[in-house]
Structure 1
Amino acid sequence: MEDMIKLRDIGSVIADDVSPSFDVFRFKALANEYVHPGSLVASAINNQTFILGRISGSIEINPHESPSRTAVRHAMQIEADYPGEELSTTVYRIYEADIIEQGIITKSGVEIIEPMDMAKAGQPVFIPNEEVISKAMGFEKESTNALVMGHTRITGENLTEDEEEIRENVLLKPDFIQRHVFVGGTTGSGKSFATGILIEEISKFKVPVVILDSQNEYISLTEELEGRVLRPGVDYTVRLSSLIESEVLDLVPTLRGTVGYELLAFSFLALKREIRERARQEFGLTDLIRRMESDAPTLEVKESSLRLALMRTQSSIYRHDFIGERTNWVELIKRYPVINIDCARLDLSQLQLVVGATLRELQNLRLKKEIPPYVIVLDEAHLLVPEGEDTACKQVIRENVRIGRHYGICMILITQSPVDIDKKTIRQCNTRFIFALEPDQLQALQGIKADATEEMLQRLPKMPRGTCILSGTYETIKHAIPIKIRSKRKTTPGGVAPDIFKEVKEVWKK
């Protein structure tokens, strides 16, 4: 039975004061066999059944290196002289694994069920094959029907010569994006690279992707996937009617404390009401100015105050060159697989305004079935859905996350600062790629780490770049597991920091 599901033996189950139990089992490792924290291991119960566990800890037993013996050697300047692990009867390693699943061998293959048995002391422990790992994690069977993200850190670890030999076995089912995705990691950890792969894989299923790109990370990707890059104020504008009251009032701060402030709010809300009542479809700055003129008598605004209000409203809004005609999203999404809104030149308030208005326009079109389901990619998400702040942009993002799965609106949130992002929002992202983070940032993940252990998260900074913990809810990713994101992309990675020393040497020191 084992030969059907295992790669190699790595040890045998031991019996001690905590193992075996219904929750954990411990095993003595064979000499020179090592497994990573979070790796999956298995042990047979009988000819048809096996227990699947995830490595949670380890310890080395070596009486020759006890404090007293080490102190004696140091004091007497004696070299250590005892056999190594492969020949010793007293030097060995003990691993502990949390039981996560149980497997049954059937005529049709492997079936994964909830764990109901303990491991058996004395039974061999082995590394399971890809079929077992795939079914235990809820991965897809074939790469043609999946998003190919990389490989688990369980297989292929001895293949240091050529990474092409490593089979990519992290095959995510496409429908996981409907439950939203969170990508978190410090600068340089590989989160943007992984997001690029995610976008490439989504694109092969012809699902439109809209990127709100605040750092120019995905320009080359968009162009190489034959998408379209739009720049607010250049070839991309949002309609004034796509804003909400607080956003419009913030655009004209010089009206605060004047009767013109009340007039602006009154007229803007009147126009928005006409849209709700289907008396009009949209409105722009000219429509707002006319409405303010017609509403002035109702609020008893004097002529001089009206002129001042109109002048300040017109000049303030006009300065924001990204407010203008509505973008034809129906045509854009029909023509381009990826649309990148390059927001790099915008300040924070402008970024939030453009993102909020864009999401509202797309949501309205989707709810009216005028555009197909789509994926939104939000870079620097902690700026857009900040913890402890209530912004208009945050409201629309939270609404998209809340209703998205029912209407085909899928969200990917990327951040280097989970501690600064709204926890209610990321809790609704049912698939998470967690890269290396600072200790204080790790604390912010307590509510969303699923069954990832503290040891798995704390080890992330020590793992190779591009390694992350893949976790989620049971319906997306059954169990948290360390994975290595594949190193080859179809498109050119963006966001590479310039070589300032090379530039100074070659350009400025001539």
Structure 2
Amino acid sequence: MVRGSVGVIFGETGTLNFKFLISDSTAVLRGHYVKIWHETDGWILAQVMSIVRSSEKYSLEEAKKGQRKDRNDDRIVASATIIGSRDDRGLLRAPMSPFSPGDQVYLADDTLIRDTLGLVGDDMYIGLLEGTGIPVHLNVNSLVQKHCSILAKTGSGKSYTAGVILEELLDHNVPMLIIDPHSEYSSLKESASGNEGDLKKYGIKSKGYGSRIQVYTPADKSINPNADHLFRLNGVNLTPSELMTLFPDNFNSTHSGILYEAVHRLRADVETYFLDDIIREVSNNESKARWNVINLLEDINQLDILSPQPTPVEELMQDGKASIIDLKGVPPHIQTMIVAQLCDTLFEARKLGTIPPGMLVVEEAHNFAPERGYSKSSSSEILRTIASEGRKFGLGMLVISQRPARVDKNVLSQCGSQIILKITNPNDLKSISKGLEGVNSYVEEELLRLPPGIAMLVSNDIERPILVDIRARKSRHGGESVKILNKSSRKISPGTKKESKTEPVNEKKSQSPPPKRKPSRNPKKDSGGLFNKLFGSESK
């Protein structure tokens, strides 16, 4: 074996993949990047996709005895997928001819990995390429123009990762409007504390965004005491179309007709009318169905969401600032109505150029843009429109959800960047593999194994899906799970004997695990780094 080599290619090879015999069980791990010298294209980058280990001499009878003295005959074979190399024009090309059996395989250096994968930006720093010290950046213009999604099961770091993206957008002065159903993002105001080790690892410093974050609540401030302002929608001269967004799915054409008739009469009699006037006019209708309409309109009226002095969208979208619409305390059907009207106003203002280009952030997107067949939402149509047309007008969208299968596919399919953390639900995995670019069976397998904080990044700007160790938050994370029981608060129930710390004299101790075997070959220093955390070590 050539010095520095981690293996040698053998058997049948192709221009897309090959197999190589690993020289040492600790030399290379699944997911590692390797390089091979090609006779015409120079250094070629490849990635180890799987590793198998076998022994032809170790018989079943020996296995039954549970002992094995000699492991020098172990055969460790890795399968690798070829990524390619950059040509003179900077385009990624796979080799046109296969490698030769006997070619040496080496661990890839950071420069080759960075250049080949396209990790050359310096805009938005989101973390490190897993298993390396290579920083991963996203392009601000590409992220905003082509939209982005963050998908993960609960507890996998979805909100934490979203916070990292929001910090980077704020650092680049991108205006943002954040739909926040659970009061998770107001913590952006405060700097992080107690994670100095993590901050040092990623080369960043704690930072709060203070007054650059403004929190608005459609509810009462007694429910959201930390809100900076009340949020109100326009309540003057509402059109039937605007009011129809308030109607639930079980309302029919009869209810719509009652509403249209009431508004038509008001427009004929007065120049200015309010919701109270509409309710009074509906009550004059002779249909029994009017009571359902009145009941819904009165519920809206009591929430005080509609006002003659609505919150101007120009106030919500300002350079270098983020406005959070905190929906805590607002009924779900009213939340979708607020999002529908707000996003419609936002999109129209962007088309007219009255607000700067920016990003719309939609948390729990499966509630506001549900897939057809799961549920209906009055906000679905405008969010689909922004996803398909927002790029032309400089309005991007960041979609965040824990149930990818329940998010409108017309919305997800428009996202040029996908940040996917651990997913275990079969329907969600199937949805991701079908609806997102660059996702294959290998990616699905990885998504099942990802630990919290490790994300799969699929982007138009990066040549293939990569694993990213998401960096630490600069600001305080506001999405922590509430602890039900603290260890210090556990008490011994009355009548329960306290366990003795002294071991019984004749009682057998629990059987200790067998000692770890020594490697069959002289192990090299582990270069797996963070990959060991994800893939495990083959040397155990």
Cα-to-partner distance string for 1:13-37 (whole Å, 9 max, x where unaligned): 22x2xx3102211112220345454
Counterpart residue identity of residue 460, structure 1: L
Task: Flag the 1:214–1:252 CA change in 2: closer, same or farther, 3 A.
Answer: closer
Cα distance in 2 for partners of 1:244, 1:238 equals 13
The answer for the alignment partner of 1:152 in structure 2 is 129
TM-fit CA distance, 1:118: 2.1
CA 115–451 in structure 1, closer or farther in 2 if over 3 Å, else same: farther
Aligned pair partner of 1:330 in 283, 299, 314 = 314
CA distance in 1, matches of 2:238, 2:108: 54
Q: Which amino acid aligns with 2:386?
A: N
> Per-residue displacement from partner, 1:270-291 (whole Å, max 9, x unpaired)?
999xxxxxxx9x985367579x
In the other structure, the counterpart of 2:300 is 317
Q: CA distance change for structure 1 residues 176 and 334 in 2, over 3 Å: closer, same or farther?
A: closer
Match for residue 457 of structure 2 among 466, 470, 473? 470
Shift of 1:218: 1.0
User: Which residue number corresponds to residue 163 of structure 1?
Assistant: none
Aligned to 1:459: 446
1:60 to 43, 50, 53: 53
Contact preservation (8 Å) 1:20, 1:118: yes
Distance apart, 1:332 and its partner CA = 3.7
User: Partner letter of residue 53 of structure 2?
Assistant: E
Does the Cα contact within 8 Å between 2:150 and 2:419 map onto a contact in 1? yes
Contact preservation (8 Å) 2:45, 2:113: no
What's the counterpart of residue 220 of structure 1?
A: 187
Alignment equivalent of 1:184, drawn from 148, 151, 155:
151
Matches within 5 A, 1:197-346: 197-222=164-189, 224-226=208-210, 227-234=213-220, 235-240=230-235, 245=240, 248-249=243-244, 251=246, 262-266=257-261, 268=263, 284-285=274-275, 315-324=298-307, 325-334=309-318, 337-346=321-330
Displacement, 1:305? 9.2
Measure how far apart 1:409 and its partner are: 0.8
1:92 is matched with 75
Paired residues in the alignment total 453
C-alpha distance in 1 between matches for 2:363 and 2:452:
20
Equivalent residue for 1:354?
Answer: 338
**Offset of residue 188 of structure 1:** 1.3
Question: Paired residue for 1:493?
Answer: 477
Q: TM-score, normalised by structure 1?
A: 0.78
Q: Give how far 1:246 is off.
A: 6.3
Deviations 1:48-75 (A, max 9, x none): 622222333221132244xxx1x31255
How far residue 326 of structure 1 moved from its aligned partner, in angstroms, is 2.1
Q: 1:10 aligns with which of 6, 10, 34?
A: 6
Task: Kindly indicate whether residue 437 of structure 2 is the aligned counterpart of residue 450 of structure 1.
Answer: yes
- Residue 246 of structure 2 contacts residue 333 of structure 2 at CA under 8 Å; is this kept in 1? no
Tell me which residue corresponds to 1:277: none
What is the CA–CA distance in structure 2 between the aligned matches of 1:53 and 1:270, rounded to whole Å?
71
Pairing 1:484–2:469 present = yes
| Structure 2 counterpart of 1:28, from 8, 21, 29 | 21
Q: Output the CA distance in 1 between the equivalents of 2:365 and 2:358.
A: 18
- Counterpart Cα distance in 2 of 1:437 and 1:72: 41
SS at match of 2:346: helix
Q: 1:74 to 1:61 in 2, by over 3 A?
A: closer
**1:46 Cα shift?**
3.2
Does the 8 Å CA contact 2:47/2:82 hold for their aligned counterparts?
A: yes
Q: Which amino acid aligns with 1:404?
A: G
1:431 has 2:417 as partner: yes
Structure 1 residue 147: deviation in Å?
Answer: 0.8
Q: Which amino acid aligns with 2:37?
A: A
Aligned equivalents of 2:168 and 2:255: distance in 1?
51
1:121 to 101, 105, 108: 101
Aligned to 1:80: 68
Partner SS for 1:442? helix
Would the aligned equivalents of 1:100 and 1:115 in 2 still touch at CA under 8 Å?
no
SS of equivalent residue, structure 1 residue 131:
helix
AA aligned to 1:135 is D
Structure having greater relative contact order (Cα 8 Å, sep ≥ 6): 2
The Cα shift of 1:390 comes to 4.2
The alignment yields a C-alpha RMSD, in angstroms, of 3.7
Residues 297-339 of structure 1: per-residue CA shift (max 9 Å, x gap): xxxx769999989976763431232222321221343376111
Superposed CA deviations along residues 84-120 of structure 1, whole A, max 9, x for unmatched, are xxxx3x313211122232245x7x9x87435433233
Counterpart-to-counterpart distance in 1, 2:54 and 2:412: 42
User: Unaligned regions of 5+ residues in structure 1, if any?
Assistant: 156-166, 273-279
| Partner-residue secondary structure (3-state), 1:403 | helix
TM-score normalised according to structure 2 size: 0.74
Q: List gaps (5 residues or longer) in structure 2.
A: 191-207, 221-229, 494-540
- Secondary structure of residue in 2 paired with 1:265: helix
Deviation of residue 448 (structure 1)?
Answer: 3.3
Structure 2 counterpart of 1:121, one-letter code: P
Aligned to 1:276: none
In the other structure, the counterpart of 1:406 is: 392
Aligned-partner Cα distance in 2 for 1:243–1:44: 69
Name the CA shift for 1:270/1:149 in 2 (closer, same or farther; >3 Å).
farther
Query: Given residue 464 of structure 1, which amino acid in structure 2 is its aligned partner?
Result: P
Identity of aligned residues (%): 23
SS in 2 for 1:96: strand
Partner Cα separation in structure 2 for residue 196 and residue 117 of structure 1: 45
| Pairwise CA distance, 1:366 | 0.7
Cα distance, 1:382 vs structure 2: 1.0
Q: Is the 8 A contact 1:151 1:170 kept in 2?
A: yes
Query: Partners in 1 of 2:18 and 2:51 — Cα distance?
Result: 12
Query: Would you say the 8 A contact 1:185–1:191 is kept in 2?
Result: yes
Alpha-carbon distance, 1:370 to partner: 0.6
Whole-angstrom distance in 1 between the partners of 2:57 and 2:273: 82
CA contact (8 A) 1:232 1:343 kept: yes
